[in-house]
Amino acid sequence: MKNKVKFGLSNVHIAKMILEEDGTITYDTPFAIPGAVNLSLDAEGEETPFYADNVKYYSSYANNGYSGDLEIADIPEEFRIKILGEKKDKNGALIESSDVEIAPFALMYQIEGDQSGRRCVYYNTTVSRPSSEASTVEESKEPKTDTLSITTGPRSTDKKVRAILEKTEANATIYENFYKSVYEEEKNVEEGI
């Protein structure tokens, strides 16, 4: 039975993208980003209408990926080092430098449904440097969160943007191992596609 509704966000993972010398793309082992609060992504791409016979005769839409925000409790050190390029010195201080390139990555996460969970991966994700915010404690302690502005786009090698895997009996093993490596499309041998 398929899900009728979806809710919740959990199991956010990041896998740093590696561009090999021959142009192929691989990924580091995914690592967890605990404390997911909210993910909001809007589709990017414009409609290109074609008019004939005095009507909109045909429309095409560009798929330029998605952009939006990932809100988390606190940016983990591993993300700061592997993706944002910060360096950790011998005293444990994280040092940000202006000449560092931010690394692209695969963004992985889970959404719950009324029947089963759904796991998603965006293959080519970039992030801007996060803002810093702090405030004094007043009558109650209100946790502050970090928000990462992210953009996803088609992967240069095969134009793949994302994959969504909903758990079934047939794919249970693949679903359970989803965060061990970045999911890649498996061709359907029976249909030849």
Angstrom distance (rounded) from CA 132 to CA 34 = 19
Return the pLDDT at 63.
76
**Which positions ≥6 away from 78 have C-beta within 8 Å?**
31
Among the listed residues 122, 109, 38, 30, the one whose alpha carbon sits nearest the alpha carbon of residue 73: 38
DSSP letter (8 states) at residue 193: -
> Which pLDDT score is estimated for 152?
95
pTM here? 0.83
Within the chain, which residues score under 70 in pLDDT? 1-6, 113-115, 132-136, 188-193
Q: How far is it, in rounded angstroms, from Cα 150 to Cα 41?
A: 8
